[in-house]
Amino acid sequence: MKINITLITLLAAAVAISSCTKNENQKEKEVKKNILLEPWDGSFGGVPAFDKVNINDFAPAIEQAIASKEAEIAAIAAHGDTAPNFENTMVALEESGQELSRVLTLYYVWGSNMSSPEFEKIEVEMEPKIAAHQDRIIQNKALFKRIEAVYRSEELKILNPEQQRLVWKHYNDFVLNGAQLDDDAKAKLAEVNQKLAGLYTKFSQNQLGDEGEKYVLLENEADLAGLAPALKDAAAQEAKERKMEGKWMISNTRSSVDPFLTYADNRAQRETVWRMFTNRGDNADKYDNNALIPQLMELRSQRAKLLGFPTHAHWRLSNSMAKTPENAMKLMESVWKPSLNLVKKEVADMQAIAKKEGANIAIEPWDYRYYAEKVRKARYDLDQNEIKPYMQLEKLREGMFWVAGQLFGLGFEAVNNVPVFHPDVRVWKVFNQADGSLVGLWYFDPYARKGKRSGAWMNDYRPQSRINGKEVLTIVSNNSNFVKGKAGEPILISWDDAETLFHEFGHALHGLCSNVTYPSLSGTNVARDYVEFPSQVMERWLSTNEVLQTYALHYETGKPIPMELVKKIENAAKFNQGFSTVEALGAALVDMKLHLLDTPRIDADKFERETLAALKMPKEIVMRHRMPHFGHIFSGDGYSAGYYSYLWSDVISADAYEAFTEAGGPYDKAVAKRLKDHIFSVGNSIDPAAGYRQFRGKDPDSKALMRNRGL
C-alpha cells in the first residue's frame, strides 16, 4: 500500500497547529483568570486582593502585565500621523501600565513582608525581566522622540506649572537613563541593568536569610539580668514561636538587639548579640555578601560611564537637591568633626562610670548603649526603663492619628472588610475631618516575622491622582518589626522606636496629603534627599506635651507620663547625639566615598576598614549599616550614593520645625496650613526648593540642625 507522505505531513502539521492554538488559547484563558491581573475591586476605589494571592501566579502575571504595558507604549509611540502633544504623549504615559503597577505592588509587598524560599526563586527569575522591560521603554526611540518634541514645543509655554513639571520629569528621567545613547551603548546598558537586578536580588535575599536564621539563644535567665520584664517576655515569646519554650531568644533584628545592648548586664552576651547583628552578611557562609559588592560596584561604574558621568555618585546626584557629590560631602564634613568631638566627651563620661563601678574595661561598641544609659541616668536622673511603661504602641498610634488631625485635618476609622496579607495587618480609612470626604487607606503591619525584612518603612500601594477629573484614592502602609510580648498585653516600645514610628508615619502622611493630578508627581515621588524631610519633621511631634499627656499612658495605671519625667526627657534631648550622628554619618560617608571611586572593584571589608580609619571613626562605634548588610545601597539603586539624604533632609526638617516654635507652637494652625499646602500636598509638582521657600519664606538654615543636635 502506497502511503501519501505529503498528505500525512500536512495533516500532522494541521493537528499540531490546532493543538498548539488550543494550548495557547488555554494558556491565555488561564492567564486571564490570574487574580493578580484583575482590577482591584471593592470599596475605597478598589483594594489589593491580598487574600487571594497565590505566589505561583506572580511570574505569569508579571510577564503578561509587561506585555500589556509594552503594547500600550507601542501605541503611544506609533500614534499615527498625529503630532505629539501633552495629552496624547504625557497623559497617555501616565495612564499606561496600570495592570503592571497593580501586579508589582502585590509582588513587592510579598517580597518585603511574606518572603519564602519559593518566592525567592520567583524573584531571581523576574527581577532581570522587570529591569529589561524598563530599559525597553526608556530605549524606545519613537517614544522618546515624542517626549522630546513636547519638551521642546511651543505648547509647553501654555501648560500649567504642574503639567510643565510632568514634561520636565519624563524628559529628564529618559535622558538620565540612557534614551539618547546609540544602539550599542543601549544594548550594553540593558545588559548591565539586568545583571544588577540579579545581584540586588541576591544581596537582599542573603540579608533576609541572615536576619531570619541567626539568633542568640539564652538558656539561663541570669543572662537577662538588667532587662525589664517586658523585654524578657518578648525574648521568651520569640523562643516560643521557634518551638524553644522555656528559653529566651534575641533575634537578629534591631528591635530585639538594641534593647538588649542597652540593658543587659552580661557583657559577654552583649558582645555575642552585637557581633551577630553587626556581622550580618559577613560570616563567610551561604549568606555572605562580600563577593557581591565588587561586582555591583563594577557594573555601576560601567553604567555611569555609559551615561556620561565620571562616577555612580555623580549620576545619582544629578537629579537631587544636592546636585553634586561635592555639595553633599561639604555638608557631611561640616557635621563630622564636631560630632567626633562630642563622641570623645561621651566616651570619657562612660569610661568614668565604668571605672566608678569597678569595671576595668575600655569601652567597646557592645558597651556603648549600656554605659550611655548609665550616664543618662546619672546626669539627667533619666532611666529609659522609666519611660517605656508609658510607650504603648497602640496608644502612640492613636497619638499619631491625633497629630494628623491637628496639623492636616485628617481623621482615621478602622475598617474590617479589607483583605490583608497577614492577620497582623490592620487597615484604617482616612478622611477629611472638615467634610468627611474620603482620602484613602492606611495599612499598619507592626510586628516582626520570618520572611519579613528588618527595619521600618512606608509603602505606597496606589498613588493619589485625578487625571481627567477621575479621583484615585491613595493607599499607603507603614511596616515595622516590633517584637510581641505576652498575648493580651500591650506592646511597650522604646523612645527611639517611638520616634521611628512617627518618622514612618510622616512618609505615610506625605502620601495621604497628596493633592496633585498626575501619579508620577504624587506623594513621596520626590528627590531622594527631600523625601526624608516630611518624615523627619514629624518625629518632633512625639515629644510635644499634648501627645505625651494624652497618649503616653502607663500600661498598668492608665495615668499620663508625669511632667517631671517629661522635663527630664526635654533636658536629655541632646544627649548621646555624638553617637547617633557618627553612627549614621559614618555609613553615609562610606557610601559616598565608595561610589566616588574610579576603580570600584574593591575588597569590601578592606575598603570599609581603611575608609573608616581615614575618617578617624571612633573605635567605640560601628557605622549604622556595615557594607555586607547595607541594603539601602546594595539591594537596589534607591539610596546608593544617597544615604547622606537623611542628614540633608534633617537640615530642612530642623529649620522647618523652628517655623512652628517661632510662631504659636507646634500646633500653630497657620504654619501647619503652609506645611500642608507647600510641602505635604504638592508631591513633585513643583521644585522642592521653591516649595520650601513658599512654606518658610527662605532657604533652610543648616545652623538649625547644629542647634538641634547640640553640635
Mean pLDDT of 277-281: 96
Same domain, 519 and 652: yes
Phi, psi of 451 (to 5 degrees): 95, 0
Predicted TM-score (pTM) of this structure: 0.91
The pair phi, psi for residue 622, each rounded to 5°, is: -110, 145
368, 482: one domain:
no
pLDDT digits (tens, 9 = 90+) for 473-497: 999 999 999 988 788 889 999 999 9
Q: Indicate if 504 belongs to the active site.
A: yes
Strand partners, 472: 465
Q: What percentage of the chain carries pLDDT values higher than 90?
A: 85
Q: Are residues 616 and 672 in the same domain?
A: no
C-alpha cell at 126: 523576574
Is the model's pLDDT at 21 over the cut of 80? no
Same-domain status, 70 and 151: yes
Same domain, 438 and 480: yes
Tens-place pLDDT, residues 112-127: 999 999 999 999 999 9
Residue 308's domain spans which residues? Answer: 292-382+578-643
Within a domain: residue 703?
no
CATH of residue 546's domain is 1.10.1370.40
The answer on pLDDT for 324 being more than 60 is yes
Average pLDDT over residues 241-270: 93
Q: Is residue 563 part of a domain?
A: no
Question: 375 with 400, same domain?
Answer: no
Q: For residues 531 and 435, state if they share a domain.
A: yes
**Does a structural domain hold residue 131?**
yes
Judge whether residue 621 has pLDDT over 70. Answer: yes
Is the model's pLDDT at 288 over the cut of 50? yes
Q: Is 699 among the domain residues?
A: no
Give rounded-to-5 percent helix, strand, coil for the chain.
60, 5, 30
| pLDDT above 70 for 31 | no
Helix (H) or strand (E) holding 440: strand 438-447
Q: Which residue, of 155, 180, 205, is where some domain finishes?
A: 180
Q: What is the CATH number for 585? A: 1.10.1370.10
Query: In degrees rounded to 5, what are phi and psi of residue 457?
Result: -160, 170
* Pair 109, 224 in one domain: no
Give dist(CA 60, CA 58) in Å, integer. Answer: 6
For 291, residues 6+ apart whose C-beta sits below 8 A from its C-beta are none
Establish how many alpha carbons lie within 13 A of residue 562's alpha carbon, considering only the half-sphere containing its beta carbon: 7
Q: Does residue 565 sit within a domain?
A: no
Question: What is residue 488's predicted lDDT score, i.e. its pLDDT?
Answer: 85
How many domains does the chain contain in total?
5
Examine residue 137 and state whether it is found in any structural domain, yes or no: yes
SS3 call for 574 = coil
pLDDT at residue 8, as a whole number: 28
**What's the confidence (pLDDT) of residue 80?**
67
pLDDT above 80 for 168: yes
Tell me the per-residue pLDDT of 566-588, one tens digit each, with 9 for 90 and over.
999 888 888 888 999 999 999 99
User: Considering only CA atoms, which of 255, 246, 251, 256 is closest in space to residue 215?
Assistant: 251
Tell whether the model's pLDDT for residue 25 goes beyond 60: no
Catalytic option among 72, 120, 346, 504: 504
627 and 510 within one domain: no
**The pLDDT of residue 32:** 53
pLDDT tens-digit map of 149-161? 999 999 999 999 9
pLDDT of 612 over the 80 cut: yes
State yes or no: pLDDT of 30 exceeds 70.
no
Q: Are residues 72 and 121 in the same domain?
A: yes
- Domain match, 418 and 507 both: yes
Does residue 708 sit within a domain?
no
- Asked whether 661 and 494 are in contact (CB, 8 A), the reply is no
The CA distances from residue 191 to 82, 177, 187, 197, 202, in Å, are 34, 13, 6, 10, 17
Question: Is 573 domain-assigned?
Answer: no
C-alpha cell at 566: 517629661
Residues 116 and 226 in one domain: no
Work out the pLDDT band at 2, boundaries 50, 70, 90: very low
Q: How far is CA 17 from CA 5, 12, 21, 32, 106, in A?
A: 18, 9, 6, 22, 36
Instruction: Provide the mean pLDDT of the chain.
Output: 92
- Report the C-alpha gap between 253 and 454 in whole angstroms: 6
pLDDT level of residue 384 (50, 70, 90 thresholds): confident
